[in-house]
Amino acid sequence: MNEFPIPSERAEILRDFVIRVPETELVQDLRECVETVISAYEIDSVSYLHFDNPATTDHKDRARLVWSVNGPRHWNERYVAESLHVMDPIFEMATIEMRPIRWRDLDPGVGNSLAERAFLSARQKAQLGDGVSIVSFGPQLRSGLFNFGFGDVHEELEPETEAALTAVAQLAHLTYCRLVPDGVSHVARMTPREKQILGLMARGKSNGAIASILSLSPHTIDSRIRGIFDKLDATDRTTAAIKGVATGAAVT
C-alpha cells in the first residue's frame, strides 16, 4: 500500500489548508497546517524566512527565521545571524524570474559577484540536498522565502506539486503577515534565551521559578524580562505572553 496520499487525497488536504489557514490565530497553528501539507507531498523539510519592509529596516537586519521543520537549522540560523541574504542570489532570482528555484540547478560559478559565488559555494558545502526555494509576497513590501527540502531526491518537480507548494507558501506568508503586524516582526527579534524565558512566562512560571529552572539569578531574569517587554511593546507579563505565543516568539 502506498505510504503517501494519492493525488485526490492530496487535493483534499490542500483544500483543507486553504480553508483553515485564513482562520488561524496562532503562528504555531499556521506552522502545523503547513507541516500537514508538506507531509502529503513527500517533502522532507521546510524553512520559512521572513523579510521585513526594506524601507523601515536596515538591509542587513531584514531576514528572520520564523521556523525550520526537519531541516538544517544550523544553516538557517547562520543565514540569519550572518545576514547571508545580503549575498544570496536565490531570493533575487526567484523574485525577478517569478518562479521556484530548484537547488540542483544552482551553480556556484554562475553568481553575478564574488560574494554571490562564495554564498553558493558555502551553501553547497552545507550539503542541503535537493529542494526548491519559493518567494512569496505580502503587504508593506514584506516578503517570504520558503525552502522545501527533498532530501537526496533528484526527480522532476511535477507541475501539480510546484503549484501546490507555491500556493502554500503564498497563503502561509500572507497569514503570517496578518498574525504578526509590520513592526512587531522587527521588535520581536529575541535571543534564544529570551524566547526560552518568554515560553516559561507563557506557561505561568514566576520569575523565581524561571531563575531556578534556568540556573540564573533572579536579578538576571528581571533584567531579561524588561528587555522582552521592550521588544514586544508590552507593559505586563500577560500581554508579553500573549504576544509571544501569537507571534511564535515564545518557546513553549
Longest dimension (CA), the chain: 59
Q: Which of 93, 125, 131, 126 is nearest to 110 (CA)?
A: 93
Q: Place 1 in a pLDDT band, splitting at 50, 70 and 90.
A: very low
User: What's the average model confidence in pLDDT over 237-247?
Assistant: 78
Give residue 115's pLDDT: 86
Give, in order, the Cα–Cα distances in Å from 65 to each of 46, 80, 146, 180, 189: 11, 7, 10, 14, 10
Domains and CATH numbers, the chain: 7-179 (3.30.450.80), 188-247 (1.10.10.10)
What pLDDT is stored for residue 58 in this prediction?
62
Asked if residue 61 lies in contact with residue 83, where contact means CB atoms within 8 angstroms, the answer is: yes
Which has more pLDDT, 242 or 121?
Answer: 121
Instruction: Check the CA dihedral 90-91-96-97 and report its sign.
Output: positive
| pLDDT at residue 92, as a whole number | 82
Better pLDDT: 48 or 2: 48
What's the rounded mean pLDDT across residues 87-108?
A: 85
pLDDT given for residue 30 in this prediction: 92
Answer yes or no: is pLDDT of 187 > 60: no
The mean per-residue pLDDT over the stretch 96-116 comes to: 82
pLDDT for 211 equals 93
Q: What is the pTM of this model?
A: 0.71
| pLDDT above 50 for 84 | yes
The pLDDT score that the predictor gives to residue 137 is 93
pLDDT digits (tens, 9 = 90+) for 150-164: 887 667 888 888 999
Rounded to a whole number of angstroms, the CA Rg of the chain reads 19
Task: Give CA–CA dist 80/60, Å, rounded.
Answer: 9
Residue 65's closest CA among 81, 54, 88, 42?
81
Cα–Cα distance between 225 and 218 in angstroms, integer?
Answer: 11
Are the beta carbons of 99 and 133 closer than 8 angstroms?
A: no
- Grid cell of 131 as nine digits: 529542494
CB 198 within 8 A of CB 249: yes
The whole-angstrom separation of Cα 51 and Cα 61 is 9
> Over the chain, what is the mean pLDDT?
83
pLDDT digits (tens, 9 = 90+) for 19-75: 999 999 888 889 999 999 999 988 989 999 888 877 666 656 677 778 888 877 778
d(CA 149, CA 133): 9
pLDDT in tens, 203-221: 889 999 999 999 999 999 9
pLDDT at 186 over 50: no
Alpha helices per DSSP H over the chain: 7-20, 27-40, 73-81, 89-97, 114-125, 159-179, 184-187, 192-202, 207-214, 218-232, 237-247
Are 94 and 145 a contacting pair, CB within 8 Å?
A: yes
Query: What percent of the chain stands above pLDDT 70?
Result: 87
Nearest to 120 by CA among 136, 133, 137: 133
Cβ atoms 69, 43 nearer than 8 A: no
Q: What is the mean pLDDT of residues 136-141?
A: 90
